[in-house]
Structure 1
Amino acid sequence: MTNRYINLILCLFTSLIASAQVADSYYLPQTVQYNAAIPTPRQHLGYQVGEWHVSHDQIVGYMKKLDEVSDRITLVEYGRTYESRPLLLLTITSPQNQQQIDRLKAEHVQLADPARSTGLDVSKMPAVVWMGYTVHGNEPSGNNSALLAAYYLAAAQGPAIDSLLNESIILLDPCINPDGANRFANWVNAHKSQNLVSDPASREFNEVWPNGRTNHYWFDLNRDYLYQQHPESQSRMVKFHEWKPNLLTDHHEMGTNSTFFFQPGVPSRTHPLTPRRNVELTNRFGQFQAEGMQRIGSLFYTQENFDDFYYGKGSTYPDVHGCVGILFEQASSRGHAQEGSNGLLTFPFTIRNQFTAMLSTLRAARAMRVDLLNFQRDHYREANADDVRAYVFGNSNDRVRTWEMVNILRRNQVAVYELNRDETLDGRTYTRGNAYLVPLAQPQHRLIRSMFEKRTTFQDSLFYDISAWSMPHCFNVPYSEARTALTPGAKVEANPFPKGRVISGPVGTDYAYLFAWDSYFAPRAASELMRKGYRLKSASQPFSAQVYSQSQPMRFDYGTVQILANGQDPVQLRNLLATLAERDGVDFYAVSSGMTPDGIDLGSDNFKNMRQPRPLLVVGSGVSNLDAGEVWHLLDTRVNVPLSTVDMAQMSRVNLDRYNVLVLVSGDYNGLPTEKIRQWVQNGGTLVAMTDAVRWASEKGLSTARLKRIPTDTTGTRAYADYERYSGSRVIGGAIFQTRADLTHPLLYGYKTNLLSVFKDNTVFLEKSRDPFATPLYYTPTPLVSGYVASANERLFRDTPAIVVNTLGSGRVIAMADNPNFRAFWYGTNKLFLNALFFGNQIGAFARGSSDEND
């Protein structure tokens, strides 16, 4: 028999195995009976779990059915996604517990309150277990196994399950990211053959850009647990804190050629603020997981690859809340059956592993119930051991960023207080009414420290995710550490949006209105005014003006926007401004004269015409969908600027004259029509290139930015086994650096201090520019603020440009070494990007009466 014939038979046999519909017994333990009144997933769906990828509406339908027929389950819709898909949470416990669920919940959350937890008898309390599935939409073994988990908990019969449900309250979130999961399910189901194809090159296993991993705006929701910028996260974390679970499982997938991972991760990469007891409990859970995987003969590993450092991840966020987070990573079939280095990997096999991990988890939680409850109580009773007693933060020039900081802290159950009086710390004065106090003498002190600290020393140099996320630096809000106790003012029980005002005289007497560019939402107000036909000008020089209600002239800074009232319906304009002031937190000041007591007059050529941004964002294969999504989300949800997104492959056919700004985020742009773009810029367009896109713009001669060559370390010899550690240590996975800003430059309009923290997660290092006016933002000589960076890397960008700007014909090219829109929570540098859109065409337009700024 020839080898070719043998291979053909093997392929046919493999196809038959892969396409066969597995029995319920493949998944479900046969050592128990099942309630026949509870429909199996197969009975409800009309197909076996794993035969097709379940759509979110099918998940919703099945979970509602279980809620209807089982007295063990109650279901709530806790939120909606951007695409208005429901987010569900099932509370699963014994019928007796269901009848007193509110009391049990109220008692359980007392474990997080040191004032009330001492008298609790934990031996009589159920443990609370949270099971979360498929935060990444194209990791489908999670949400598909959730069907089986819910069925098992609803239908299994016998003393063991009765005891489990009496001693546990299980919170099951069947799909954390419905939008991404549905996008992926549609893809793989649409490309499934009746005779399953396992060739990894086949279209079924290779989603098109942006793929189903992310949510509607292409964000990784598994990085949003801490700052909670998306509705899915905000809604889910309300439920998390409503219950404060003892254990949280986070079900993921990884590459096809791997096996199955469960925690603990790499021991040296656990955040130092995570209690040692948490690690010990995680290790105990691992024993149960190993037993479960061995029982079904599945390969697995632990203490490699993954870590527990960044508290914004789903499996790490619990670790700073007296909860144990457990990450599961299953090798992904990325379809229905795919060849891998460990043989044929079928979708049902991946689902069975996730279901088995769930069963092992529940066995462990029951066995460790009292230990988990005691650990949570002890976690919140431990006092702050740091010499920092409180953090004070806030500023008055942009109340919106301070307001959002307070929102985030309160969403994380952190107590925030008003100042009792003005405080001066570190040479800064914080005024009562504009600043806030966060004492560390509260249960969440570990979380607070992680959100405010500047950490620059680490046990390990490798990180699975970012190494720094200090909130005041993310938001560019002044803050200080208080090392003595401060008397707090009133606790913040509500945090209303800081509305703006319209300060004007009698109707018809207003010559013009002025508003500062300081407010975070000033670009949104400006965009709407221009969209409604109002002509706006921005000040390229500071000045003073006499405004209504003030006896002395008021000082206005660079970037102040002027709205000419002459010729406008005064009532209509004032009503519009009142609406924008309330919505956007912007103060509008009326002036009755174009003459100013100091600085430029309102008719000066130093007031530049503003243009309405008409941006185009290049997307598609080769472009970072995460970075692209950040631009889309910012412009669409915060600034209300319509954004066109065009696939790179279509750019040669697009009429660029429709746009005045072209945005390139991190990516490989060798497929772009360079000469077409060059001509467009020369005709007056603004090109904004960020991170890796700077390399392309420089190589094509569009940008004058020159990238530094990263030297290769060729000294001595190194052990082969150390390669991963060495190469990983040279990566900047995400750290915070300090820059010095030119506040007179249009890209820095709205900023008040010349030191600005930026986030860097790349190795784009720029040479100093030959043009002394081309670099509005520079890294300082000692730039590291927080996070890990190899000393060799830090030396490369000390005292070098973070932004380089050049003219090209009548247009501008703005090269940004870093991403100012990182993960939607870097509020402090969003304005850099928005200024590029709103003021980029004004850069370098110094000639009197120059027309190229009026496009």
Structure 2
Amino acid sequence: MSYRKCWLVLIFIFLSISAHAQLQSPSEFLGYELGSEWTPHHKVMDYFWHAAEQSPLVEGESYGETYEGRQLMVVYIASEENVDQLEQIRTDNLKRTGLIDGEPANNQTAIVWLSYNVHGNETSSSEAAMKTLYELTRPDNDRTKQWLQNTVVIMDPMLNPDGRDRYVHWYKETVGADPNIHEAAREHHEPWPNGRTNHYYFDLNRDWAWLTQKESRQRLAKYQQWMPHIHVDFHEQGHNAPYYFAPAAKPFHNAITDWQEEFQYTIGRNHAKYFNENGWLYFTREVFDLFYPSYGDTYPIFNGAIGMTYEQGGQVGLSIKLQEGDTLTLDDRLTHHHTTGLSTVETASKHAGDLVREFEEYYEQSNTEPAGKYKTFIIKGDNNPDKIRSLFALLDRHQVRYGKAKTDRSLEGYNYATGKSEDIQVTEDDYLVSAFQPKSVLARVLFEPQPQLEDSVTYDITAWEQHYAFGLEGYALTERLEVEVADTPQQANPDPVSVTGQPYAYLLPWKDIADAKALAALLKEDINVRFTQKEIRLDGETYQPGTLVIPRADNQNLNPQFDQLVQQVATEHHRDLVTVSTGFAASGVDFGSSSVRYLAKPHVALLSGRGTSSNRVGEVWHFFDQQVDYPLTMINTDYFENIDLDNYDVLILPAGRYSDILGEGKMKELKAWVLSGGKLIALGRSNAFLAGKEGFKLKKKEIETDSLDQQRRNTYGGNQRKRISEFNSGSIYKIAMDPTHPLAFGYGDDYFSLKRNAAAYGFLENGWNVGFAKEDAHMSGFIGYKAKEKLQDTLTFGVQEMGEGSIIYLVDNPLFRAFWHNGKLLFGNAVFLVGN
């Protein structure tokens, strides 16, 4: 071959490789037309990494993985010049907030964050993400190139890979050669638990503030590094609904600024322009409000951004016939999301200077003139240190600053425990969260005693205050107090526990869920444990009911490893391990008393599957698997009929529809199991199923119906308002407790409960009314006046003894969304202590 021919071949090979290495469209890369089938997680990730490798406008970054090991990642999209300056743009933006020190450069680059597929079965958005990524980076797209001159776009293509793959794999197994457009077809009806939630069946779109899930914590860490000016969460709603985009519905939380509200209109008008051109139906200002702080739109808003939810009709297969006769396809759905995604970037670019300036002013006000009634929030220093640490761990993740009081002061403040303003004492040992800080608005939202609703028609719970959630005493002050930098209370026993000799017994106080986790570890090591039902005074110390007693006499079979095992558990769980040399109490009961009960190692089962609420099942699963690390057997309702309950000591009923699951025969077996020593725990709405059934002492309390005259005055248009009067979506109640009962061990006379509905039950006539709502029990959040009347003097937590066993009625679910920290010990009491 001649020299010239060799060069021609080499040039041809080079051009072929170069052409092959160029950025491909999603359809070219995937090998099928985008919108013709679902794209599984790994292929979506592959395409985003492909864009990062091939486009000079894209930089990719992995930020974690899911519980099932799937990758989480983001890409940064900007002009070539700005891609080289991403770190400068990022740090300049954080300097505007005051979260890091220094003066920002005069850079007017807007930061837009687009989040896709937080609900796994709302699948069109990740498909749209690929198309949007391509259009933003396509070399011949001059329009988007112009936007990227002053805008950085951050895209998270899939917030919930586990849920999405659960849906996608099910659909691929279910669909035939061609999609079936009829609504009745099985491909439009997912089986339990469906793909909406993550591995533990948690709704990640309600976890932004609480960060109970691994995915949420990893995502927020990355979000905090950027603090974008706009954040969009892409969703789907019922398939017959037109597209929804900003502006959002009322009520708005009153912490939302006029600018944030106005800019939603600016964005909405730009979207409407494109939807009008294409003749697509849409709606705004309905249904999706901005109040609950843990959504993907509200959390960014309370961090200074323009937060928005976009909702496309969907949650079905590849194509479906609509009520008006048209067919909605996956291509339609992703195209609509793609359109609003690009429109958002376009609007941000047009108003980049305004966005940056308003964002900077937002944080300037936060640091110097914070809005809101209260300026300082107090956490008393003598609270349980485990609870303080748990709260501060959450505040650290949100970059909410705290410290200690500089001096002792006598002031007037709002007492969370009483719900009243009164004279209070602040000491140098107390912790303070000041409103004068970068995260002022978020701090206000988390600690405000009574968040104000401008309208009672809202989408979610209306109360979440953190003193109540963590079981902490404290105050809210209208006065600013100076805060001194202070560390979080130290964990007990940072070094290995060292004990000399051979103690008669070890004691572990029972005050927090951390103690329940230590108990679970002891039981897993087959260490025999007791707990005291009465107060013990020994060596000058008083040990409250619930204190764990680990006697050497009960653990002779573990010698010589007994001491090592107990001390190892205490060290690993940072517990204050008390050693005693005698079982003879100075006062109260001795260790051999019948009031120091042997704590049998429970075998726990949870009913799950079809008919049960997957969210409520997930909360229990997560409690055992991730919070206390104790074995749990999940039994599906499909085969529950054939299960021998004698293999279990505890059966948990989450909320569900049980009429088909627990028929007459199974109910008879269930009662026989309880009579012979089983423990049945009814959570939340499952109590409604048991109420009034033979042998169960729980009875519903009915609300009085309207008079005939009132019924005549009722109107169709006023029906929603009428129903609101009977409604309680989620408010905080002060529950009177019986601290002498094992279900209430670790608590005082009161417990603050998140009450999520108006389900009202009378007191148990033959049972223990451990927790109940008195007349003035309502503390925070909206509740209709009729619901409030109905809930007066009603049971919240009760225990019925049935033969050798017991039934525990937990009318309020203490595990709701895993964020009500103070309820977790109560559930631990139900599992481990009650009935022993």
State the TM-score, normalizing by the size of structure 1.
0.89
1:538 aligns with 2:531: yes
Report if aligned partners of 2:297, 2:308 keep a CA contact under 8 Å in 1: yes
Q: Rate the CA distance shift 1:282–1:439 in 2: closer, same or farther, 3 A.
A: same
1:599 aligns with 2:581: no
Report if aligned partners of 1:213, 1:220 keep a CA contact under 8 Å in 2: yes
Deviation of 1:394 after TM superposition, in Å, equals: 4.4
Aligned to 1:411: 397
CA deviation digits over 1:332-374, x for unaligned, max 9?
A: 0511111221421111111111001111111111111111111
Partners in 1 of 2:115 and 2:491 — Cα distance?
Answer: 32
Q: Rate the CA distance shift 1:449–1:456 in 2: closer, same or farther, 3 A.
A: closer
Partners in 2 of 1:759 and 1:128 — Cα distance?
Answer: 37
Deviation of 1:483 after TM superposition, in Å, equals: 3.7
CA deviation digits over 1:368-403, x for unaligned, max 9?
A: 111111111111112124453311114556322211
SS for the counterpart of 1:170 is: strand
CA deviation digits over 1:715-766, x for unaligned, max 9?
A: 1422212223332453211111110111111001112x21211011122101
Report if aligned partners of 1:254, 1:331 keep a CA contact under 8 Å in 2: yes
Where does 1:543-622 land on structure 2 (aligned, <5 Å)? 543-546=536-539, 553-566=540-553, 567=556, 572-622=561-611
SS for the counterpart of 1:269 is: strand
Partners in 2 of 1:112 and 1:80 — Cα distance?
Answer: 29
Partners in 2 of 1:303 and 1:649 — Cα distance?
Answer: 42
Report if aligned partners of 1:769, 1:804 keep a CA contact under 8 Å in 2: yes
Give the residue type in structure 2 aligned to 1:579: Q
Deviation of 1:271 after TM superposition, in Å, equals: 0.6
Report if aligned partners of 2:403, 2:486 keep a CA contact under 8 Å in 1: yes
Deviation of 1:651 after TM superposition, in Å, equals: 1.3
Partners in 1 of 2:830 and 2:155 — Cα distance?
Answer: 45
Aligned to 2:306: 324
Aligned to 2:657: 668
1:392 aligns with 2:378: yes
Give the residue type in structure 1 aligned to 2:179: L
1:629 aligns with 2:618: yes
Aligned to 2:444: 449
Report if aligned partners of 2:402, 2:483 keep a CA contact under 8 Å in 1: no
Aligned to 2:472: 477
Report if aligned partners of 1:395, 1:430 keep a CA contact under 8 Å in 2: no
Report if aligned partners of 1:502, 1:587 keep a CA contact under 8 Å in 2: no
Where does 1:184-223 land on structure 2 (aligned, <5 Å)? 184-223=167-206
CA deviation digits over 1:268-309, x for unaligned, max 9?
A: 311111111110010111001111222222111111111111
Aligned to 1:71: 56
Deviation of 1:430 after TM superposition, in Å, equals: 6.6
Aligned to 1:54: 39
Partners in 1 of 2:271 and 2:383 — Cα distance?
Answer: 53
Report if aligned partners of 2:380, 2:474 keep a CA contact under 8 Å in 1: yes
Report if aligned partners of 2:725, 2:787 keep a CA contact under 8 Å in 1: no
Report if aligned partners of 1:704, 1:804 keep a CA contact under 8 Å in 2: no
- The aligned length equals 795
Partners in 1 of 2:804 and 2:311 — Cα distance?
Answer: 52
Partners in 1 of 2:312 and 2:771 — Cα distance?
Answer: 44
Aligned to 2:14: none
SS for the counterpart of 1:649 is: coil
SS for the counterpart of 1:407 is: helix
1:235 aligns with 2:218: yes
Deviation of 1:262 after TM superposition, in Å, equals: 0.4
Partners in 1 of 2:114 and 2:531 — Cα distance?
Answer: 52
Moved more, 646-655 or 176-185: 646-655
Q: Rate the CA distance shift 1:194–1:412 in 2: closer, same or farther, 3 A.
A: same
2:123 aligns with one of 131, 140, 143: 140
1:273 aligns with one of 251, 255, 258: 255
SS for the counterpart of 2:550 is: strand
Aligned to 1:80: 65
Aligned to 2:435: 440
Identity percentage of aligned residues: 28
Deviation of 1:503 after TM superposition, in Å, equals: 7.1
Deviation of 1:656 after TM superposition, in Å, equals: 0.8
Deviation of 1:532 after TM superposition, in Å, equals: 1.8
Partners in 1 of 2:617 and 2:530 — Cα distance?
Answer: 29
2:693 aligns with one of 690, 696, 700: 700
Q: Rate the CA distance shift 1:453–1:628 in 2: closer, same or farther, 3 A.
A: same
Deviation of 1:692 after TM superposition, in Å, equals: 1.8
1:797 aligns with one of 787, 791, 796: 791
Aligned to 1:710: 703
Deviation of 1:495 after TM superposition, in Å, equals: 7.7
Q: Rate the CA distance shift 1:569–1:543 in 2: closer, same or farther, 3 A.
A: same
2:735 aligns with one of 735, 739, 743: 739
1:374 aligns with one of 350, 354, 357: 357
Give the residue type in structure 1 aligned to 2:782: Y
Report if aligned partners of 1:293, 1:357 keep a CA contact under 8 Å in 2: no
Report if aligned partners of 1:705, 1:769 keep a CA contact under 8 Å in 2: yes
Deviation of 1:697 after TM superposition, in Å, equals: 1.4
Report if aligned partners of 2:497, 2:571 keep a CA contact under 8 Å in 1: no
Where does 1:17-56 land on structure 2 (aligned, <5 Å)? 37-56=22-41
Partners in 2 of 1:424 and 1:836 — Cα distance?
Answer: 40
Partners in 1 of 2:718 and 2:215 — Cα distance?
Answer: 40
Give the residue type in structure 2 aligned to 1:530: L
Aligned to 1:727: 723
Deviation of 1:649 after TM superposition, in Å, equals: 2.6
Partners in 2 of 1:806 and 1:456 — Cα distance?
Answer: 37
Deviation of 1:650 after TM superposition, in Å, equals: 1.4
Moved more, 517-526 or 324-333: 517-526
Partners in 2 of 1:59 and 1:47 — Cα distance?
Answer: 13
Aligned to 2:3: none
Deviation of 1:504 after TM superposition, in Å, equals: 6.8
1:163 aligns with 2:146: yes
Aligned to 1:549: none
SS for the counterpart of 2:253 is: coil
Q: Rate the CA distance shift 1:482–1:585 in 2: closer, same or farther, 3 A.
A: farther
Q: Rate the CA distance shift 1:385–1:315 in 2: closer, same or farther, 3 A.
A: closer
Partners in 1 of 2:683 and 2:99 — Cα distance?
Answer: 48
SS for the counterpart of 1:138 is: coil
Give the residue type in structure 2 aligned to 1:687: L
Deviation of 1:485 after TM superposition, in Å, equals: 3.5
Q: Rate the CA distance shift 1:416–1:142 in 2: closer, same or farther, 3 A.
A: same
Q: Rate the CA distance shift 1:312–1:605 in 2: closer, same or farther, 3 A.
A: same
1:459 aligns with 2:449: no
Report if aligned partners of 1:205, 1:335 keep a CA contact under 8 Å in 2: yes
Partners in 2 of 1:46 and 1:502 — Cα distance?
Answer: 58
Aligned to 2:646: 657
SS for the counterpart of 1:841 is: coil
Aligned to 2:74: 89
Q: Rate the CA distance shift 1:497–1:168 in 2: closer, same or farther, 3 A.
A: farther
SS for the counterpart of 1:151 is: helix
Aligned to 1:835: 829
5+ residue gaps in structure 2?
1-18, 416-422
Report if aligned partners of 1:35, 1:157 keep a CA contact under 8 Å in 2: no
Report if aligned partners of 2:95, 2:104 keep a CA contact under 8 Å in 1: no
Partners in 1 of 2:755 and 2:20 — Cα distance?
Answer: 55
Deviation of 1:667 after TM superposition, in Å, equals: 1.4
SS for the counterpart of 2:75 is: strand
SS for the counterpart of 1:788 is: coil
2:815 aligns with one of 816, 821, 824: 821
Report if aligned partners of 1:192, 1:336 keep a CA contact under 8 Å in 2: no
Give the residue type in structure 2 aligned to 1:522: D
Q: Rate the CA distance shift 1:649–1:486 in 2: closer, same or farther, 3 A.
A: same
Where does 1:484-503 land on structure 2 (aligned, <5 Å)? 484-492=479-487, 497-499=491-493
1:748 aligns with 2:744: yes
Deviation of 1:525 after TM superposition, in Å, equals: 1.5
Give the residue type in structure 2 aligned to 1:826: W
